[in-house]
Amino acid sequence: MAELILFNKPFQVLSQFTDDGAAGGSSPRATLADYLKIPRVYPAGRLDYDSEGLLLLTSEGALQHRIASPALKMPKTYWVQVEGEISDDALKRLAEGVELNDGPTRPAKATRMPAPAIWPRVPPVRHRDTIPTSWLELTITEGRNRQVRRMTAAAGFPTLRLIRYRIGDWTLNGLKSGEYRKVTVNLPAGSNTKSRPGQTGPGARSRRTRKS
């Protein structure tokens, strides 16, 4: 068994424990260290600075790999607020895969959804009175840089707010923005339960300090 931390990352918080970009006199940005006082845990994957929602952390290298590895294609579900009333054609394009500058995306699941009952964003999304907004639920099995935002833009509906709701079997349910909870999970067969990220391969320390 291993311990997994489910954290609801707020808007404009780095998914790392230090702000390396604050050197040279600039003000440091908020980081995981402002919310998590737990030693020797590392994000399993990342979430952009201007995105919100579920971020998983663990001290177990095998579990981190199981969650973050692109080869394992763990599904991730996002709640996406877009500019405009999302059309059937756009949903079909998102589901079939859209062409991005780094190649076509894999098929996804894309459906309309009502506006979710969630925490207010600080600062709030900037709305234009003449343009409506709508929400969709999008599930993907890959994790390119800013992929969801690029997908909705390619389909003609720019993203205004992006919340990751689910990773695999884990969701945000019961977590307010900035809150976390711990769960225990079974490690993959044959894993070293005493290992932590950094002991299973190169570059693990950078996962704790990498820029978003």
User: Which residue out of 19, 20, 34, 48 is catalytically annotated?
Assistant: 48
> Quick check: 73 and 67 in contact, CB under 8 A?
no
Which residues contact residue 59 at a Cβ distance below 8 angstroms, ignoring those fewer than 6 apart?
Answer: 2, 3, 40, 41, 42, 196, 197
Strand 159-167 and strand 52-58: the pairing is parallel
Q: Which of 62, 58, 68, 46 is nearest to 168 (CA)?
A: 68
- Tell me the residue type at 171: T
Q: Are 177 and 8 in contact (CB under 8 A)?
A: yes
Number of neighbours of residue 202 by Cβ within 10 angstroms: 7
Is 48 noted as a catalytic residue in this protein?
A: yes
Per the listing, tokens 């230090």 go with 18
Alpha-carbon torsion angle 143, 36, 176, 49, nearest 10 = -40
Which residues form the catalytic set? Answer: 48
